[in-house]
Structure 1
Amino acid sequence: MSTEPATGSDSQPRIEVTEAAAEQALSLLDQEGLDDDVAGLRLFVQQGGCAGLSYGMRFDDEPEEDDAIYTHHDLRVFVDPASLKYIEGSVLDYESGLQAEGFHVENPNVVSECGCGESFRT
């Protein structure tokens, strides 16, 4: 399954990426020496944390065959089908402030989070 949200239909599952998150990820891709025309940021959900699930991110050279592919602000985001059901409708943002700096997923499917905000339950 491959989707391009900018041109996909409204019925397609969506993952949004803010401009701040895209800029930060593209900068990191460049530092890693990866070709941002092919490589991208993989966003996934894994078992773990005190609430049961946690987010993971890494750079991949290319998408897997069954990945959903989203492009926002020139950043390609790869999501596997198993993770997509947990994060459909989410927004990936990058926050920079006095207390914290880093990527943050705003997920409308979350019903509870652990106290530290590192894991969640849908």
Structure 2
Amino acid sequence: MSTDASGGGELDTAVTVTPSAAEEAVSLMESEGMDVDVGGLRLFVQQGGCAGLSYGMRFDNEPEEDDRITEQHGLRVFVDPASMNYIGGSTLDYESGLQAAGFHVENPNVEAECGCGESFRT
């Protein structure tokens, strides 16, 4: 794998990003005045929810040194090594509809999810 020239982690495709997810995230980042060439969306896993683990997302101005970095459709996604153990191979999508809109992680590692889809177990 190649090292990202901007100084953070490795550049790879451990997480797939759909065009709609990238478009929405880049739009949100730009509306907050963030530099989309350096900053990105941090995708992580945290303890919580009725199934044990839940996804978290936030914008970061730059990656951490040991992050895995995925860059697709103009969006950089940062994932820390511990979270990568749970979400490697996942797809980040953005869905919009009449009842709800938001980012969704399609994770092939999930063995069980809670009824509301907010938490999971691997």
- TM-score normalised to the size of structure 2? 0.91
Residue 113 of structure 2 corresponds to which residue in structure 1? 113
Residue 9 of structure 1 corresponds to which residue in structure 2? none
Specify the code of the residue in structure 2 equivalent to 1:50.
C
Instruction: Give identity over the alignment, percent.
Output: 73
Tell me the distance in 2 between the aligned counterparts of 1:52 and 1:100.
24
Structure 1: tracts of 5 or more residues without a match: 6-13
Q: Which has the higher strand share?
A: 2
Residue 84 of structure 1 corresponds to which residue in structure 2? 84
Q: Give 1:9-88 correspondences, 5 Å limit.
A: 14-88=14-88
Residue 4 of structure 1 corresponds to which residue in structure 2? 12
Tell me the distance in 2 between the aligned counterparts of 1:37 and 1:15.
18
Tell me the distance in 2 between the aligned counterparts of 1:121 and 1:99.
26
Cα offset, 1:42, TM superposition: 0.2
RMSD (Å), alpha carbons: 0.7
Structure 2: tracts of 5 or more residues without a match: 1-8
Determine helix, strand or coil for the equivalent of 1:20.
helix
Q: How many residues align?
A: 114
Moved over 4 A (4+): none
- TM-score normalised to the size of structure 1? 0.91
Tell me the distance in 2 between the aligned counterparts of 1:32 and 1:47.
28
User: Which digits, 9 at most, give the CA deviation of each residue in 1:31-83, with x for residues without a partner?
Assistant: 11000010000000000000000000000000000000000101000000000
Cα offset, 1:99, TM superposition: 2.1
Tell me the distance in 2 between the aligned counterparts of 1:27 and 1:37.
13
